[in-house]
Structure 1
Amino acid sequence: MNMRPKKHRLLGLLPDALVLTNGSRRDNARYLTFDDGPDPTYTPPLLDLLAKHGVKASFFLVGQKIERHPELVERIVAEGHMLGNHSYSHWSFKRMTTRKKLSEIHDTDALLHAFDGRAHHRMRPPHGYVGADLLCYFAIHRRSFVYWSYDSLDYQDRPNQEMISRLRADPPLPGDIVLMHDDSDRAHDALAVMLPEWLGEGHSFSALPQDAR
């Protein structure tokens, strides 16, 4: 199973200021990122686990869920994690007009602003689809997308032990941005095993920095 998608190596040729596929390798850091939340069932235990191990991460949140669960967004910010934009509806951008895509992004930015005071947030499009129109818009407006260099495959309906074995055999490297999700218990259950091992081996984990704007 490919946890290091070739497509994102090509995206990595674009400037980091536009498309970020790897984080800084300083301090031996890896970057855990969680998509599709906040979720009242799965996000709190994940936050408990991260707090237990002193790990900071980045959460790419869906606007509709932000509106339903603001207390979880408050907790994410209070505990030092980064807020990212994962669109308002989580519908694929592939068949959307440019106007609709921008509405999804701006509406979610406005919701996130109420929690961290930032006008703009790093953006991760649903299913990873952007399109030339958004790439051009973000380049002109000096905004950035965040992709990933390491896919945990936690969205696959496979036995948890299989995921743990993959993570143990091929762990994220310094600078890797790790794709995970907090709309199921798969990431939590795997990290409950792997975080103590990785930290014991000297790995460190950080939240991604917001862009300069």
Structure 2
Amino acid sequence: MFLAKSPAIVKKYYSKLVWDIPNDENKIYLTFDDGPIPEITEWVLDVLKEHNIQATFFCIGKNVENHTEIFQRILKEGHQVANHSNTHVNGWYAEDSYYLEDIKKCQDKFASPLFRPPYGRIKKSQIAEVVKDYKIIMWDVLSGDFDPKTTPENCYINVIKNTKSGSVIVFHDSIKAAENLKYALPKAIEYLLEKGYVFDVVK
């Protein structure tokens, strides 16, 4: 179960976290979690290149270590990279010291001022420490591509129905999400470009 649109009350309660990026230029922010993964991330990069748009990749440190050449391609093609922990640790169930160390292990592989908690799950005590060194980037539009109960068409609808100027949109460049991703991403990009949105990276 997930919410395609982040509720206003949640954004207000966790006000130290970045949920969207308001602007007057119709900019939106496409983000990808859990890569780099062979074939999947490379396919995403091909789609982005075809449409000449930039995105932000929240990378898992272990995947960066295992697939360095794909990570280098992300950088070479002008995309933003950001920390998504080293082993995709769930903050709700992790001791704070372990959680913070896992983030640092990812940071040791590549430096980024941006962090997104895996599963979007992070305790207030962890937030208090993480915000000292990072912007914590959440989202306001979740495609749901990772959910096997979500059809490819519903994944696409989740994105186009909820996106507005300033939206931070989440897809996953993972094997689990591949079927939904490959259907929804190109269609969503084409629709949003037709609506006059401008894609930018999170900074």
Using structure 1 for the length normalisation, give the TM-score: 0.85
- 1:2 and 1:14 map into 2 onto residues whose CA distance is 16
Q: Report what 2:134 is aligned to.
A: 143
Cα distance change, pair 145–195 in 1 and its aligned pair in 2 (3 A): same
Alignment partner of 1:147: what SS?
Answer: coil
Structure 2 matches for 1:91-106, cutoff 5 A?
A: 91-106=89-104
Alignment coverage as a number of residue pairs: 198
- 1:26 and 1:56 map into 2 onto residues whose CA distance is 19
Q: Pairwise CA RMSD of aligned residues?
A: 1.9
Q: Report what 2:52 is aligned to.
A: 54
Q: Report what 1:11 is aligned to.
A: 11
Tell me if the contact between 1:31 and 1:208 (Cα under 8 Å) persists in the aligned partners: yes
- Fraction of identical pairs, as percent: 24
Alignment partner of 1:37: what SS?
Answer: coil
User: Which runs of 5 or more structure 2 residues have no equivalent in the other structure?
Assistant: none
Alignment equivalent of 1:191, drawn from 185, 196, 202? 185
User: Which runs of 5 or more structure 1 residues have no equivalent in the other structure?
Assistant: 114-119
- 1:165 and 1:60 map into 2 onto residues whose CA distance is 23
The code of the aligned residue for 1:136 comes to A
- 1:201 and 1:11 map into 2 onto residues whose CA distance is 26
- CA displacement 1:127-151 (0-9 Å, x = unmatched): 1111122221134x25221000111
Q: Report what 1:77 is aligned to.
A: 75
Q: Report what 1:116 is aligned to.
A: none
The code of the aligned residue for 2:185 comes to L
Is residue 115 of structure 2 the alignment partner of residue 159 of structure 1?
Answer: no
Cα distance change, pair 175–124 in 1 and its aligned pair in 2 (3 A): same
Cα distance change, pair 135–164 in 1 and its aligned pair in 2 (3 A): closer
Alignment partner of 2:165: what SS?
Answer: coil
Structure 1 runs (4+) greater than 4 angstroms displaced:
12-15
